[in-house]
Chain A
Amino acid sequence: MAEAIKVPTMAEYMAEGKKPEVLFWVGCMGSFDDRAKKVTKAFVKLLSEANVDFAVLGTEESCTGDPAKRAGNEFLFQMQAVTNIEVLNGYEIKKVVTACPHCFNTIKNEYPVLGGNYEVMHHTTFLKSLLEEGRLKVEGGKFKGKRITFHDPCYLGRANNVYEAPRDLLRKLEVELVEMKKCKKNGMCCGAGGGQMFKEPEPGNKDVNIARTEQAMEVKPEIIAAGCPFCNTMMTDGVKSKDQEKNIEVMDVAEMIANAHDL
């Protein structure tokens, strides 16, 4: 990950009178959070590798409004949504891909009624389609045979029934995929959804991310695979609090694929 990568913006495309195949919606965490930025870069490298004609909004992107809506601030959510939709529609965007299940859910499900209709994909689904089209090749590489468990993000899995795409990608890496007791439809939250990411939890006897990390540790994974920047942070914190950061890594599925390629 030495040299800076070329990331075209929609404005640049527009200036050239071109349209990209897909808009990469980076999201707030993907743009600002140090850990999530690594996932963003890994995904961009994969897009370049697969010769995908993509663009980002860059400084024109704003929060989708997901945390506001789920915290009950429908006004703020709709203000954000309407502004974002104006930008997206202005660029005549058809297809959106994002590495954040919260952005994915909001743009896919909650923007249409406000006038934003796009084909929205989670990055794992998009990567899977690139594989199927033969544009991207994935082989085991350095993850071959490693014991890995996938933590289902609520807003990808239960909320939108995407369970198989991330797992299919992991299988391509020839890992030993082990499932937690609570997985897929019955998966447990990392504790960050619904605005919880931005506040201290209510008093209880344990934090949700610790409980979830314990569930993951039950299956003794070398890597906890994530598909959401929120989950990634929460599980990383959980692993740290258990002093297991030397034994268990938390990685986004896209990062793993990029790493397997030594991108």
Chain B
Amino acid sequence: MQFLAQILFVIALVAGVGLFIRNIRRIIRNIKLGRPVDRKDNPGERFAMMARIAFGQSKMVKRPLSGFLHIIVYLGFIIINIEVLEIIIDGIFGTHRVMGAAGPPYNFLIGAFEILAFLVLVGVIVFWTRRNISNIYRFLGNELKGWPKNDANYILYFEMVLMTLFLVMNATDYQLQLKEAPYYFRETGIIGSFPISQFLSPIFEDLSISTLIVIERAAWWLHILGILFFLNYLYYSKHLHILLAFPNVYFAKLTPQGQFNNLQSVTDEVKLMMDPEADPYAAPADAEEEEMPAKFGASDVMDLNQVQLLNAYTCTECGRCTSECPANRTGKKLSPRKIMMDTRDRLEDVGAIINKKGKFEDDGKQLLDDYILREELWACTTCNACVEACPVGIDPLSIILDMRRYLVMEESAAPNELAIAMTNIENNGAPWPYNQMDRLNWADEK
């Protein structure tokens, strides 16, 4: 019987972790659909940034309440994973509280886990209230209707259940130890300390040892199976940020926010145009031809770079970007969060086609128009507020810019007034129809 439990445990563990690895590989494959981008410079600065922003959560606390609660849930998550390690060892080898042999340090750890589990429970309940009851601007966006809202709530319910199971498991374990149940009771005394679950424990006081064992085992199994399920839920959820926030911050842009990237392909063309000796009909060298992108700017996810696609998978849909966006705050259609969500949705749709057919086949859709509207793109003031607001270094502006580049350079589809301004710049060297020869007139004006 004992072996059967161990075998079932190993099967669940292998299946859970195996599925998780398959999901991660799919994510990596999808991100690699993007164009390569060089973000390997300055590893020291990048590690420091990752330590500060992702590990140290420095940008989360810009909003003190949600930042503080997030840190509790985050600490709870990291530390309780040590408990999961013990559960896995116990599960495989059929032991019980194997680390208990460590004595007082173990008791301290279990006590700390309990307090954290309780705080996480409180934090998650406050989160749920903020999301569902308080009227918080960034949780009211249209893009959060349906799955994104449910997803956010499922995560919170999941955490509530997992934390409760952990506390119930400890409360019944404590009762079993008090009742000197075989297998749970050790001569050396109580294993673990139960600062929170001791208050739950009286509920189970009158139950028989066998009933207690059933409850304790059920909680133990549901807890670990829940964690394995949650691990695989990540892929389908905004909760993926718990893993991707780290690489995402590491690969974030280090140059000034106002500095937009240079398109080398355009530079090559401009050089050719400005060079009086260049032969316009000369065939480009082979190597150059390979480097030339199929198009300027981006109309679909494959035109974006790999960091932009990583950004899309990392987005937690917290909406801090959108709530800082001047266009969004004044009722325009643009929401930087929606830009990220659309990019991920499109990438997932492309990935699904590859899963099914082995390679990407045109489905008659693209990121532009079918997901992101032109009106959204043209509402952006490129002010970088969204980039500044993101706690995990996502750059929605770079996607907006690349899509504008496609609209202007491939489709000549800039709004009319902008097109006029651009013609003026081209002809007069200013966005208005003034003569360049009049540029110094101000000096003579009274």
The interface of chain A, by Cβ under 8 A from chain B, is: 1-5, 7, 9, 26, 28, 30-32, 37, 40-41, 44, 56, 58-59, 61-63, 65, 67-76, 78-80, 82, 105, 109-110, 113-114, 154-155, 158-161, 185-186, 188-189, 191-208, 210-212
- Inter-chain pairs besides A4-B444, A109-B255, A204-B330, 9 sampled, C-beta below 8 Å: A32-B438, A72-B403, A72-B409, A73-B409, A74-B296, A74-B409, A79-B270, A191-B330, A202-B327
Which residues of chain A are within 8 angstroms of B271 by Cβ–Cβ distance? Answer: 82
Query: Which of the candidate stretches B94-102, B234-242, B346-354, B417-425 sits at the interface with the other chain?
Result: B417-425
A114, B417: Cβ atoms closer than 8 Å: no
B259, A110: Cβ atoms closer than 8 Å: yes
| Closest beta carbon of chain B to A100's beta carbon, Å | 12
**CB<8 Å pairs between A and B, sample of 7:** A2-B446, A59-B438, A67-B425, A69-B260, A70-B404, A79-B270, A211-B326
Interface membership of chain B positions 326-370, coded 1 if the CB is closer than 8 angstroms to chain A and 0 otherwise: 110111111000000000000000000000000000000000000
Which residues of chain B are within 8 angstroms of A155 by Cβ–Cβ distance? Answer: 258
> Are A189 and B440 CB-contacts (below 8 A) given A28-B431, A158-B257, A203-B332?
no
B381 in contact (CB, < 8 A): yes
Would you list which residues of chain B between 364 and 381 have a CB under 8 Å from chain A? Answer: 375, 378-381
CA–CA, A194 and B382, complex, Å: 5
Which residues of chain A are within 8 angstroms of B421 by Cβ–Cβ distance? Answer: 67, 71, 195, 198-199
The interface of chain B, by Cβ under 8 A from chain A, is: 255-260, 262-263, 266-267, 269-271, 273-274, 296-297, 324, 326-327, 329-334, 375, 378-385, 388, 401, 403-409, 414-415, 417-418, 420-422, 425-426, 429-432, 434, 436-446
A186, B324: Cβ atoms closer than 8 Å: yes
B442, A159: Cβ atoms closer than 8 Å: no
A72, B404: Cβ atoms closer than 8 Å: yes
CA–CA, A2 and B446, complex, Å: 6
> Are A202 and B408 CB-contacts (below 8 A) given A58-B439, A158-B388?
no
CA–CA, A160 and B334, complex, Å: 24
Which of B267, B329, B425, B444 has most chain A Cβ within 10 Å? B425
B266, A75: Cβ atoms closer than 8 Å: yes
CA–CA, A165 and B443, complex, Å: 27
Chain A residue at minimal CB-CB distance from B375: A202
Which residues of chain B are within 8 angstroms of A76 by Cβ–Cβ distance? Answer: 422, 425-426
> Are A7 and B332 CB-contacts (below 8 A) given A188-B385, A189-B381, A193-B383?
no
Which residues of chain A are within 8 angstroms of B379 by Cβ–Cβ distance? Answer: 201-202, 204
Chain A residue at minimal CB-CB distance from B382: A194
| Closest beta carbon of chain A to B197's beta carbon, Å | 43
A26, B439: Cβ atoms closer than 8 Å: yes
B260, A72: Cβ atoms closer than 8 Å: no
| Closest beta carbon of chain B to A21's beta carbon, Å | 19
B381, A32: Cβ atoms closer than 8 Å: no
B326, A1: Cβ atoms closer than 8 Å: no
CA–CA, A174 and B333, complex, Å: 43
Which residues of chain A are within 8 angstroms of B408 by Cβ–Cβ distance? Answer: 71-73
Which of A5, A82, A189 has most chain B Cβ within 10 Å? A189
Which residues of chain B are within 8 angstroms of A206 by Cβ–Cβ distance? Answer: 330-331
Chain A residue at minimal CB-CB distance from B417: A199
B381, A74: Cβ atoms closer than 8 Å: no
| Closest beta carbon of chain B to A62's beta carbon, Å | 3
> Are A70 and B266 CB-contacts (below 8 A) given A31-B439, A203-B332?
no
For the complex of A and B, 7 pairs with smallest distance between CB atoms: A159-B258, A72-B404, A194-B382, A62-B429, A205-B331, A204-B331, A109-B259
Point out the residue from A26, A32, A73, A196 that lies within 8 Å of B414, measured CB to CB: A73
Chain A residue at minimal CB-CB distance from B269: A75
| Closest beta carbon of chain A to B304's beta carbon, Å | 14
Which residues of chain A are within 8 angstroms of B440 by Cβ–Cβ distance? Answer: 7, 9, 31, 56, 58-59
CA–CA, A175 and B332, complex, Å: 36
CA–CA, A195 and B260, complex, Å: 14
A4, B430: Cβ atoms closer than 8 Å: no
Which residues of chain B are within 8 angstroms of A114 by Cβ–Cβ distance? Answer: 262, 267
Which of A30, A44, A62 has most chain B Cβ within 10 Å? A62
Which residues of chain B are within 8 angstroms of A65 by Cβ–Cβ distance? Answer: 425
Which residues of chain B are within 8 angstroms of A40 by Cβ–Cβ distance? Answer: 442
| Closest beta carbon of chain B to A41's beta carbon, Å | 7
A31, B381: Cβ atoms closer than 8 Å: no
Point out the residue from B385, B409, B434, B443 that lies within 8 Å of A32, measured CB to CB: B434
A63, B439: Cβ atoms closer than 8 Å: no
Which residues of chain B are within 8 angstroms of A67 by Cβ–Cβ distance? Answer: 421-422, 425, 431
A63, B425: Cβ atoms closer than 8 Å: yes
CA–CA, A74 and B375, complex, Å: 20
| Closest beta carbon of chain A to B327's beta carbon, Å | 7
Which residues of chain A are within 8 angstroms of B260 by Cβ–Cβ distance? Answer: 69-70, 110
CA–CA, A28 and B428, complex, Å: 10
Which residues of chain A are within 8 angstroms of B266 by Cβ–Cβ distance? Answer: 74-75, 78
Chain A residue at minimal CB-CB distance from B334: A202
CA–CA, A12 and B258, complex, Å: 34
Which residues of chain B are within 8 angstroms of A5 by Cβ–Cβ distance? Answer: 443
